[in-house]
Amino acid sequence: MTLWYNKLIRIIFLKIMLEQQLVDYIKKAKASGQSDEQTRALLYKNGWAEAEVSEAYAFLNQPQPAKSPVGQLGGQATKPEPASANASASVKTTAGQVGEARQSQEKPQTQISGRPEVRVEPSQTNMPSMRKSHTAIKILMVLVILVVLLGAGYFIAGQYLNLSWNPFTPSPKTVVAKMIESMKNVKSSQTKTDVKFTVTDNNNAPQGGFSFSISGGSDFADANNPKSSFVLAVDGSILGGPANSPYAVSADIVGLGSVFYFKINSAPTSSGSIHTGVDISQIIGKWFKFDQDSLTALMEAGGSELPLSTLNASQLNNSESLQKIRALLSADMFSDYKQLASETIDNQNTHHYLLKISKEKLKEFLNKLVESFSQQTAGQSRNSELLDAAQMFQAVVNIFPEAIGDIDIEMWIGKKDYMLYQAKIVKNIDFSKVFPGANQQLEINFSMANSEFNKPLTVVEPQGAQKIEDILLPIARVQKINANMNQISAVAQTVFSTNNTYAPLCRSGLLSGWLKMGLQGISNDIVSQGGKIPVCFAGPLGYCVSTQLADGSYLCIDEQSVLGKTRCISSATVCK
């Protein structure tokens, strides 16, 4: 564009200079007494077009602004100079300028209107230099102007219309680099993410599936008061099953600073064979609160086994981790840039690309994540747990990229703001590469759509929320009692294998402490979790152990090693 503009300026300047020379020449010819016919003939002979000459004469013949009265015909008559002197001066001037002018012939002069008459032979005196291509230059100038206008119009149209080809479009790598930088500066947005996993055998027969979607917005404009609001939906049903699968769950999640709120909108109400101690139907539709106190309570209840034991609640809703991940991204991660037809996404004209992340680049990125995680958690309490987590993640990093191979990513990037409006990944993974002998395939479908960039998000604090530990702690306690009952079942099987009867398992309606197999410790642990001392009934071929829970219900186990909700009253009681 700059080169064309400079050329255009030079051509226009040249045209102005040449036309000024033409006007000056005609003025001098008139002043020397040369007739218009003679002047025209000489100009035509030297390559000037008739239209150009006529244009110059028309300019000269325009009414001129009034001058000083001195020397004007309408004013006082001036004293005429001798004709011979006037003619001689004219000839000398011409000869001095060119050196090829002929001597003008003087003739007897008569005075008309106070001015001497001067005649000069036709001459090329002071003829402006002009090539035959003057008209061609005008045509070229018009063409250049048209090209510039068309180019500018195409450039502008390319910003608002999805043109299939545009010479002004930046390279895909440049666009992706700008997108990464633009996304680093995003403070708020709306996002919808859908992920679906489909498992098939080697004959492509469906084996099962799992999917989840999360949609909503986040706002980190105020680092001290981040906000978020999302809707989560999970479906773990077997493919081909009913729409209302017992594994389908949906919930609302709200984050305000370091406090989270969630509400279960739908969940399976059947608890199956394992008793949880919670009636799911009683908590659906209610808001629950999770804060630092909740985290502390869960840490104390779960001990070192809880993965939340080294976290602070404020870390769960901040932009620092997100910014660190964004900082690891770069256009160099991608290769095989393929430009696809532009599309309109969310009323935005977008660049449309298909990119590739090689397994080597993926592994490099994941290693950087592990390193960033290690640096972030350095110096925190219980580093042994963090070390175990980091080692486990590192092991996954070493296997995962090789297992899945290269990843193709489809992207839609805004033409005006360079924001990432949409991304899609479809990937097939052969389980046999991860688990030798497996004969299943996993298909992953991932899609993400972003909108409402850097627009404020309004989030209202839910009212009447119940503390989450009031729900989770009873569940955690019951799950521990479940584990204790399974331990009793394992001891019972050992007793039967050794004695060919279950009878030694119980004594006076309680677990036999004399067996020295940890039964007394198991009984005490059940009591510490809120259960009553377990009752025990055993015979040659059967047994039944039960405990009463804090909510008044019962949890039992028998020789079938099945947990149930029945109160045991004899060795023949069936636990169900």
pLDDT tens per residue across span 193-220: 999 988 888 788 877 788 889 999 999 9
- Same structural domain, 433 and 487: no
**Residue 62 located in a structural domain:** yes
- Produce one character per residue of 198-216: b if its CB has 16 or more CB atoms within 10 Å, e if not: bbbeeeeeeeebbbbbbeb
Q: Which CATH number do you get for residue 207?
A: 2.50.20
Helix axes 2-31, 50-60, angle to 10 degrees: 70
Domains in the chain, number: 3
Q: Beta strands 287-290 and 466-467: pairing type?
A: parallel
Contact 126, 25 (CB under 8 A): yes
Q: Are residues 222 and 293 in the same domain?
A: yes
Does residue 514 carry a pLDDT above 60?
A: yes
In a domain, 383, yes or no: no
Residue 374 pLDDT level (bands cut at 50, 70, 90)? low
CA distance 181 to 241: 44
Can you give the residue range of the structural domain that contains 511?
472-564
**Distance in angstroms (rounded) separating the CA atoms of residues 89 and 371:** 95
Alpha-carbon distance of 392 to 376, in angstroms, equals: 17
Predicted pLDDT at 386: 56
Residue that terminates a domain, selected from 397, 417, 451:
451
Residue 297 lies in a domain: yes
The DSSP call for residue 149 is: H
Q: Specify whether the CB–CB gap between 546 and 567 falls below 8 A.
A: yes
CA-to-CA separations, 72 to 66, 69, 77, 116, 404, in angstroms, rounded: 10, 5, 8, 14, 98
Q: Are residues 343 and 307 in the same domain?
A: yes
Q: Are residues 347 and 224 in the same domain?
A: yes
pLDDT band at 54 (very low <50, low <70, confident <90, very high): confident
Query: Helical H runs in 197-335?
Result: 292-302, 320-327
Least confident residue range of 39-48, 74-83, 455-464? 74-83
- Residue in the structure block whose two tokens are 């999805």: 162
Same domain, 310 and 426: yes
Mean pLDDT along residues 492-512: 94
Dist. CA 196–CA 210, nearest whole Å:
6
47: in domain: yes
Residues 311 and 436 grouped into a single domain: yes
Asked, for residue 576, whether it belongs to a domain, the answer is: no
pTM across the whole model: 0.60
For residues 510 and 442, membership in a common domain is answered with no
- Which of helix, strand or coil describes residue 361? helix
Q: Is residue 546 part of a domain?
A: yes
**Integer Cα distance of 266 and 254 in angstroms:** 17
Q: 437 lies in a domain? A: yes
Name the pLDDT band for 355 (thresholds 50, 70, 90): very high
- Mean pLDDT across 534-559: 94
pLDDT, position 501: 95
Do 271 and 419 belong together in one domain? yes
Q: Average pLDDT of 114-129?
A: 45
Residue 88 belongs to some domain of the structure: yes
My answer on whether 328 and 268 are in the same domain is yes
Q: What is the mean pLDDT of the chain?
A: 75
CB atoms within 10 A of CB 108: 7
Same-domain pairing of 281 and 241: yes
- In the predicted structure, residue 107 carries a pLDDT above the cut 50: no
- Per-residue pLDDT, 376: 59
Residues 527 and 441 in one domain: no
Co-location of 112 and 185 in the same domain: no
Angle at 40 between CA 35 and CA 46, to 5 degrees: 135
